[in-house]
Chains A and B, each alone.
Chain A
Amino acid sequence: MKYLLRTDWWKWLTIALLIYVVIGGFMFTVPRLPILNETIRVLHFHVPMWFGMLFLFLGSVIQSVRYLANGRMENDIMSSQLAEVGIVFGVLGMITGMFWATFTWGEPWSSDPKQNASAIGLLIYFAYFILRGSIQDEQQRAKIASVYNIFAFAALIPLLFILPRMTDSLHPGNGGNPGFNAYDLDSNLRLVFYPAVIGWTLLGFWVATIKIRYRKLKEQLDD
Chain B
Amino acid sequence: MRFEVLNRNTTQDFRLRTTDFIKMSNGNMNLTLKVWRQKNAQTAGKFVNYKAEGISPDMSFLEMLDVVNEGLIHKGEDPIHFDHDCREGICGMCSLYINGHPHGPKRAITTCQLHMRTFHDGETVTIEPWRAGPFPVIKDLAVDRSAFDRIQQAGGYVSVNTGGVPDANEIAIPKVIADEAFNSATCIGCGACVAACKNASAMLFVSAKIKQFSLLPQGQPERYRRVQSMVAQMDAEGFGSCTNTGACEAECPKEIKLTNIAGMNLDYFSAKLFRQEELHEQGHGEG
Q: Do A and B come from one complex?
A: no
Residues of B within 8 A of A (CB): none
